[in-house]
Structure 1
Amino acid sequence: MFNQSSQSPLIRRIAVVGSGLAGLTAGLKLKHQGHSVQVFEKSRGPGGRLAAKRVPGGSADVGAQYFTARNPAFLPFLQEFAGESAFARWQGRFGFRNDRGEWDSFPDDPRYVGVPRMTAITRALSAHLDLKAETRVGAIRKAGSSWTLVDTEGAILGEFDQVVITAPPAQARDLLADSNLHELAQELDAPVTKVLPCWAVAAHFERPLPSDYEGMRVEHPVLYWVANNSSKPGRDDAGQWWVLHANPEWTDAHVETPPQDVANLMIDALRDLLGCTDAPDNVVTHRWLYARSADSDQPGHLWFPDHNIGIAGDWLSGGRVEGAFNSACSLVEAMSGRD
């Protein structure tokens, strides 16, 4: 059922559910082909995992921390549709600490970030599309050879020839099930179990913390990733904002723990990691229930030609930010009959 070519006629109207990088990439590429594209986003604005929290004096990236560009088409795409000023290379020092406490350097791949925050990229991309924010799609109803989308209040959102879903697998499965598309929903049962949660904390310190690295991937009982967010280009912070990501196992055990308690425990872990006693003067938390996929069996995208419904997302293509772009590109090719 996956990755088959569409036999349907030329698409006139396409709905894209979700405005993360996968949804915006699919929308832009489909629009470039001459189709009419409408993007629906349940939040106040685009972003997905390219998320940032407003903090005093600026913002802190609480979602994806950076992205690579191994696909030679990725950077040109961003340059064309987001603009060169929307992102820049993060010239930080990156280290990995194993479970024995030994440090080593990351592979020397160029790493990029949005400027002045990760959401700068998705906001710039979305400017080229018809985006309807604060709209949660509740169901997809068959209307002859088309689909009618309705929101969770039952209001009709429009009629479309094809639908692209870029929500996390659990939310995509719920949407399909609520649309009585149970066979398609069952295709997501296994992927749902492979998506890992993540607690994120942004903490501000008045003075620099002692660290040889600006970004750290660590094997730690609590932490998975630690970064000096203020070291990224375009961040004009007084003091330092540090972003901490908990590991999936710890997050799963503390998924219902109050945010302030989570923050205290994660900041204690940061002090243990860096060997310091500094206390932050401002803390922000965010719980990601659907952070990244641990599934190694990733087909790139899902395309159901008999239904004219496609699914894309980073969880279908390696889990990295760039995977969202790759997944959307491969889905659009399938929709165009070139897969």
Structure 2
Amino acid sequence: MRKESSMLAGVRRIAVIGSGIAGLTLGHRLKQAGFQVTLFDKARGPGGRMASKRLEQGSLDLGAQYFTVRDPRFRRFLADHASGCLGEWTGTLRYQRPDGTLSPYHADTRYVGVPRMSAITRALSDGLALNTGTRITRIGHTPDQGWQLQDEAGASWGDYDRLILCQPPVQARDLLAASDLDDEAGVLADHLDALTPCWAVAAHFSTPLSLGYDGIQFQQGPLQWAANNSSKPGRKDAGQWWVLHGSSEWSDSHREATGAEVEAALLAAFREQTGETVQPDQVLSHRWLFARAEVSAAQGHLILAGGELAVCGDWLHGGRVEGAFLSAESLLTAWGLSG
């Protein structure tokens, strides 16, 4: 049943651009409250940085490697919409100290999607009106018709009473600027550095490595993270896949490097850090331009355009997968829809 609030009086239709965790959370919660919600995403499927890649030898989590659950609302949300595709990753994790020695990673319950990370966002998209492969390139608002959206193919979408952007700040700013919403774009300009890039390299080893751990966070060199993707629950890989993430600084300084250059550099760093000499038989790379949230503040969300437009994302709530959910919840609370 519709829950009216003073900020949503008369609102029927809401559009959400972006179908990561924040967008999917808003899709479900607003639908449950009785609104007509339509989501748009430029990618072929939902998930954002929860994306996975399917290959002949298995599947890879190239973005988010795992997540934790601390807020009971997030736990309930996952139980309601994605309980069948969650698993606990009990892999042995290590942390590299500044002097190069290794210590056990802090104790925590870490979750992943089963059989791949994207299974969670696929499950969360069930029952939602989601238009994938749809890049919105221009938006406009009038008092009579509300929000009108235009995609890169020239198709128009509307009329929406509210619009929520669940995109990286650079993409949100560029959309607003292209739509002549200069004041709103100016607000986003203060957040452009909230997300830093990350190069990801996946390496397949036909003979499993024996390093004594399944994941490690580095403090030295170009690598920040390496994980045995095949050690996660539900993976039925032939051989063993390792996923390597470059540090934010290194990835930023190598934005324009070729995939081959990145693969060579991060694999060399992996061999140097681990002492492993076995060569992979397959390597691939992926550049995340907007990957890691470098903020700790919990601003939560932004409300712009006199209350007609909102912005959400993990970068507005301290990062982390759960931060995306909490960003969406903060907007819902501001709209009088806290659950």
TM-score > 0.5 by shorter chain:
yes
Q: 1:10-55 CA deviation, whole Å, 9 max, x = no partner? A: 3200000001111000111000100000000101110101011122
Counting only pairs closer than 5 Å after superposition, residues 58-73 of structure 1 correspond to structure 2 as 58-73=58-73
Is 1:87 matched up with 2:64? no
Partner of 1:123: 122
Report the 3-state secondary structure (helix = DSSP H, G, I; strand = E; otherwise coil) of the residue aligned with 1:121.
helix
- Contact 1:6–1:305 (CA<8 Å) still a contact in 2? no
Q: Distance in 2 between matches of 1:107 and 1:98?
A: 13
Partner of 1:141: 140
1:180 to 1:307, Cα distance in 2 relative to 1, 3 A: farther
Q: Distance in 2 between matches of 1:203 and 1:58?
A: 12
- Contact 1:313–1:328 (CA<8 Å) still a contact in 2? yes
- Contact 1:204–1:242 (CA<8 Å) still a contact in 2? yes
In the TM superposition, what is the alpha-carbon distance from 1:151 to its structure 2 partner? 1.1
AA of the residue aligned to 2:90: Q
Runs of 4+ aligned structure 1 residues displaced above 4 Å come to: none
Is 1:104 matched up with 2:119? no
Partner of 1:294: 294
Q: Distance in 1 between matches of 2:77 and 2:130?
A: 19
In the TM superposition, what is the alpha-carbon distance from 1:191 to its structure 2 partner? 1.4
With CA pairs under 8 Å and 6+ residues apart, which has the higher RCO, 1 or 2? Answer: 1
- Contact 1:18–1:167 (CA<8 Å) still a contact in 2? yes
Report the 3-state secondary structure (helix = DSSP H, G, I; strand = E; otherwise coil) of the residue aligned with 2:159.
strand
Q: 1:229-285 CA deviation, whole Å, 9 max, x = no partner? A: 000000011211000000011111211111011111111111111111111011111
AA of the residue aligned to 1:242: W
In the TM superposition, what is the alpha-carbon distance from 1:338 to its structure 2 partner? 6.2
In the TM superposition, what is the alpha-carbon distance from 1:337 to its structure 2 partner? 6.6
In the TM superposition, what is the alpha-carbon distance from 1:290 to its structure 2 partner? 0.3
Counting only pairs closer than 5 Å after superposition, residues 187-266 of structure 1 correspond to structure 2 as 187-266=187-266
Q: 1:84-103 CA deviation, whole Å, 9 max, x = no partner? A: 22111001111110231021
Q: Answer with 163-172 or 175-184: which moved more.
A: 175-184
- Contact 1:50–1:122 (CA<8 Å) still a contact in 2? yes
Q: Distance in 1 between matches of 2:276 and 2:97?
A: 20
Q: 1:270-329 CA deviation, whole Å, 9 max, x = no partner? A: 111111111101111100010012123340111236141111111111110110111111
Report the 3-state secondary structure (helix = DSSP H, G, I; strand = E; otherwise coil) of the residue aligned with 2:26.
helix
Q: 1:184-206 CA deviation, whole Å, 9 max, x = no partner? A: 11111121123210000111001
Report the 3-state secondary structure (helix = DSSP H, G, I; strand = E; otherwise coil) of the residue aligned with 1:306.
helix
Q: Distance in 1 between matches of 2:76 and 2:7?
A: 30
Partner of 1:78: 78
Identity fraction in percent: 49
In the TM superposition, what is the alpha-carbon distance from 1:147 to its structure 2 partner? 0.8
Q: Distance in 1 between matches of 2:181 and 2:9?
A: 22
Q: Distance in 2 between matches of 1:37 and 1:194?
A: 27
Is 1:15 matched up with 2:15? yes
Q: Distance in 2 between matches of 1:127 and 1:25?
A: 12
Q: 1:160-211 CA deviation, whole Å, 9 max, x = no partner? A: 0001110100001111111222111111112112321000011100112232
Q: List gaps (5 residues or longer) in structure 1.
A: none
Counting only pairs closer than 5 Å after superposition, residues 158-177 of structure 1 correspond to structure 2 as 158-177=158-177
- Contact 1:312–1:324 (CA<8 Å) still a contact in 2? yes
- Contact 1:195–1:291 (CA<8 Å) still a contact in 2? yes
Q: 1:56-106 CA deviation, whole Å, 9 max, x = no partner? A: 222100000000001111122112112x22111001111110231021122
Q: CA RMSD in A?
A: 1.6
Report the 3-state secondary structure (helix = DSSP H, G, I; strand = E; otherwise coil) of the residue aligned with 2:38.
strand
Q: 1:214-235 CA deviation, whole Å, 9 max, x = no partner? A: 1111112110011000000000
Q: Distance in 2 between matches of 1:26 and 1:113?
A: 21
Aligned residues: 334
- Contact 2:58–2:238 (CA<8 Å) still a contact in 1? no
Q: Distance in 2 between matches of 1:165 and 1:328?
A: 11
- Contact 1:301–1:312 (CA<8 Å) still a contact in 2? yes
AA of the residue aligned to 1:46: P
Q: List gaps (5 residues or longer) in structure 2.
A: none
What TM-score do the two structures reach when normalised by structure 1?
0.95
What TM-score do the two structures reach when normalised by structure 2?
0.95
